[in-house]
Amino acid sequence: MDGESLEEIMEGLWSRHPGLKTILDDTAMLSIFVNSKLVTTGTEKWDGVSLNKEDEVTLIIPIAGG
Protein backbone atom coordinates (compact mmCIF):
# COMPACT_ATOMS: atom_id res chain seq x y z
CA MET A 1 0.00 0.00 0.00
CA ASP A 2 3.05 2.25 0.01
CA GLY A 3 2.29 5.49 -1.79
CA GLU A 4 -1.42 4.85 -1.94
CA SER A 5 -3.88 7.15 -0.28
CA LEU A 6 -6.66 5.71 1.80
CA GLU A 7 -9.11 6.79 -0.87
CA GLU A 8 -7.25 4.70 -3.42
CA ILE A 9 -7.11 1.76 -1.05
CA MET A 10 -10.84 1.99 -0.44
CA GLU A 11 -11.60 2.23 -4.14
CA GLY A 12 -9.68 -1.01 -4.56
CA LEU A 13 -11.53 -2.56 -1.63
CA TRP A 14 -14.95 -1.57 -2.98
CA SER A 15 -14.09 -2.95 -6.40
CA ARG A 16 -12.89 -6.28 -4.97
CA HIS A 17 -15.70 -6.59 -2.42
CA PRO A 18 -18.71 -4.71 -3.80
CA GLY A 19 -20.93 -6.34 -1.17
CA LEU A 20 -19.22 -4.24 1.47
CA LYS A 21 -21.01 -1.14 0.27
CA THR A 22 -24.39 -2.72 0.82
CA ILE A 23 -23.75 -3.12 4.53
CA LEU A 24 -22.73 0.46 4.96
CA ASP A 25 -25.64 2.81 5.15
CA ASP A 26 -23.31 5.59 5.99
CA THR A 27 -19.57 5.49 5.45
CA ALA A 28 -19.29 8.41 7.87
CA MET A 29 -19.48 5.75 10.58
CA LEU A 30 -16.65 3.61 9.27
CA SER A 31 -13.73 3.55 11.71
CA ILE A 32 -10.17 3.03 10.62
CA PHE A 33 -7.51 1.55 12.87
CA VAL A 34 -3.83 1.69 11.97
CA ASN A 35 -1.62 -0.70 13.88
CA SER A 36 -4.49 -1.38 16.28
CA LYS A 37 -4.99 2.29 17.14
CA LEU A 38 -8.19 4.09 16.25
CA VAL A 39 -7.19 6.88 13.89
CA THR A 40 -10.49 8.33 12.83
CA THR A 41 -14.13 7.59 12.14
CA GLY A 42 -15.62 8.84 8.90
CA THR A 43 -14.28 8.46 5.39
CA GLU A 44 -14.36 12.21 4.86
CA LYS A 45 -11.43 12.53 7.27
CA TRP A 46 -9.26 9.96 5.58
CA ASP A 47 -7.31 12.46 3.52
CA GLY A 48 -5.34 13.33 6.64
CA VAL A 49 -4.29 9.73 7.30
CA SER A 50 -0.86 8.72 6.07
CA LEU A 51 0.26 5.14 5.87
CA ASN A 52 3.55 3.31 5.67
CA LYS A 53 4.20 0.07 3.86
CA GLU A 54 4.17 -2.12 6.96
CA ASP A 55 1.10 -0.54 8.56
CA GLU A 56 -1.72 -2.88 9.44
CA VAL A 57 -5.06 -1.31 8.57
CA THR A 58 -8.37 -2.46 10.03
CA LEU A 59 -11.76 -1.11 9.06
CA ILE A 60 -14.56 -1.45 11.58
CA ILE A 61 -18.16 -1.27 10.48
CA PRO A 62 -20.38 -0.07 13.33
CA ILE A 63 -22.59 -2.56 15.14
CA ALA A 64 -25.84 -1.00 16.25
CA GLY A 65 -29.14 -2.19 17.61
CA GLY A 66 -32.37 -1.15 19.19
Partner 1 sequence: MTSLAQINRIILPDSNWQEIVAHGKRKLAGDYLPGESEGKRAYGIIAGSQNEKLLKVARILPGKKNVRSEEPYKTYMDRTMDQHAIPSKTPLSQRGWVIDPLEVKECYDMCDRDNLIVLGTYHMHIVPWEGDPIRDTPTHLDTVLARNSGLFQFVISLVDIANPIIRAFYEGQSEKEVPIILQSENT
Q: Which residues of the chain form contacts with partner 1 (CB under 8 A)?
A: 22-23, 25-26, 28-29, 31, 33, 36, 38, 41-42, 58, 60, 62-66
Backbone angles phi, psi at 59, to 5 degrees: -105, 130
Q: Which is nearer to partner 1, 2 or 64 (CB)?
A: 64
Closest approach of Cβ 49 to partner 1, in Å? 15
Cα(38)–Cα(15) distance, integer angstroms: 24
Q: Which is nearer to partner 1, 12 or 62 (CB)?
A: 62
Residues 6 or more apart whose CB falls under 8 angstroms from that of 1 comprise 9, 51, 53, 55, 57
